[in-house]
Amino acid sequence: MGEEVPEYILNSSVEKLSVAYDSESAAYQTSTNFGNKMYVVKGSEYGGNSPTNVKIFDNITRSWIIPTVLGMKPIHVGGHSAVLLNKDRILIVKRDSELDDCIWFLEVDTPFVKEQKKVFGTEVVAWSKGVAGNAPKPIVISGPSGVGKGTLINKLMKEFPSTYGFSVSHTTRAPREKESDGVHYHFTDRITMEQDIRDGKFLEFASVHGNLYGTSIEAVEVVTDSRKRCILDIDVQGARSVRASSIDAIFIFICPPSFEELEKRLRARGTEVEEQIQKRLRNAKAELDEAKSHGPFDHLLVNDELEFCYDNLKKLIASDELATPLHRSTMKNSKILVSDVEFKTDKTFLHCGDKDLLLLDISSLKGGAPGRTRGINVCPVESSGGCVNGIAQL
Ligand code: ADP
Ligand code: 5GP
């Protein structure tokens, strides 16, 4: 297993990490300085499985700040190490955890976090779990109500059940007759959904035709964790939010052949009362104008004859995958050496014994909070015994 540690790794300058045990609350914590602030990340108390806590100490005002914390939080009891990366995020490496759950990023000043600070008007930090290797780009499909998005997506999922997975959105609208909870949507109420939005559980959300709709982080991760390509059926506002986020996706807008045909399809579907039909048609006009002028879309596809449109959709998705470079480099100091981590052995994970080192190559990171940071290359290397404990940035 592993390779010999290259000379440059052992000779490189190493930042020793502050990992302290807080005996009062029986938990490990690290503190990482960034600008005038110190980010304190505290693991769960022993015996508990509550999520990791984050507080910020402002060195100027000499006071503690409790930030808004977005994204799914790691849970760990065995301690962790932390180091600031790229001057915008803290790499957290959990001890005593499985390899697919040991690398986490706490974003403190990424573009996403800067944007969210304006939205919330508070200090914001955002968690993102690190994932080894690449995952296929999600596909965002938008278009006016009744244009045929659902029909096209269903065909794709039926023809390629192991390739594509549907991101099941949340909505406050009532289920239609043939819709089931957890399959077509997660049906919820406004109070619960608004609280979940405040808790940072959503990648995006929007008020559409008088109801709230949103894509939870979990909905996308359930699909991508199953190694399927995620399909999102969301409105133009949602597509705009995803475009502005760190998610690297392909954006497709489906147009009707004419407004009259759209109205015909919407009425023929028979799922909406007249008032809703009128509202959806009014909104369709605005959506079509926006998509055609300055919308966030990479491609517009006309759904006239269904089979023809479906073939074009498949071609378009395939060509986008080929045209996309696998990596998008974001990090300058891109090699990280981790040496104090003991991983639980599991037949599906690489075993890294306590004398071994883990080399993380983060030169090709994709994505980020809220969600997953992908494209990490993980390479176990054997230590020659002289290495430090903690994380070294090479
Ligand atoms: P959306 O998901 O965009 O709201 P649907 O997929 O529910 O739209 O389609 C609305 C209606 O139009 C459905 O009854 C569907 O069978 C029909 N439809 C979809 N595509 C076509 C097409 N190319 N030609 C004719 N009818 C279509
Ligand atoms: P419907 O009520 O017909 O199922 O959906 C109405 C609209 O809501 C459609 O345009 C659909 O794309 C959009 N929508 C569905 N789920 C989401 C979501 O999670 N986020 C956003 N922004 N729009 C959604």
| Neighbour tally for 121: CB within 10 Å | 8
Distances (CA, A) of 65 to 55, 69, 123, 125: 6, 12, 8, 11
Per-residue pLDDT, 369: 83
Per-residue pLDDT, 3: 36
Walk along the chain (394 residues) and give the pLDDT tens digit of each residue.
Answer: 333 333 333 323 333 344 555 665 556 788 999 999 999 998 876 656 777 889 999 999 999 999 999 888 888 767 788 888 888 999 998 877 777 788 899 999 998 899 889 988 999 999 998 888 777 889 999 999 999 999 999 999 999 999 999 999 999 999 999 999 999 999 999 999 999 988 888 889 999 999 999 999 889 988 987 889 999 999 999 999 998 887 889 999 999 999 999 999 999 999 999 999 999 999 999 999 988 887 799 999 999 999 999 999 999 998 876 654 443 445 555 777 776 555 443 333 333 444 456 778 888 788 888 778 888 887 766 655 444 446 665 5
User: Pairing mode, if any, of strands 164-166 and 229-233?
Assistant: parallel
Query: In this structure, which amino acid lies at residue 83?
Result: V
Phi, psi of 89 (to 5 degrees): -155, 155
151 lines ligand 1 (CB under 6 A): yes
Domains annotated for the chain, with CATH where assigned, are 8-134+328-393 (no CATH), 139-323 (3.40.50.300)
Per-residue pLDDT, 21: 58
Candidate from 208, 276, 303 with most ligand 2 atoms within 8 A of CB, to mutate: 208
Ligand 2 atom nearest to 219, measured from its CA: 19
pTM: 0.77
Span from the CA of 213 to the centroid of ligand 2 (angstroms): 6
The catalytic site residues sit at 176, 269, 280
Per-residue pLDDT, 82: 87
Beta partners for residue 285, in sequence order: none
Q: What's the rounded Cα separation, in Å, for the pair 388 and 95?
A: 15
Ligand 1 atom nearest to 269, measured from its CA: 14
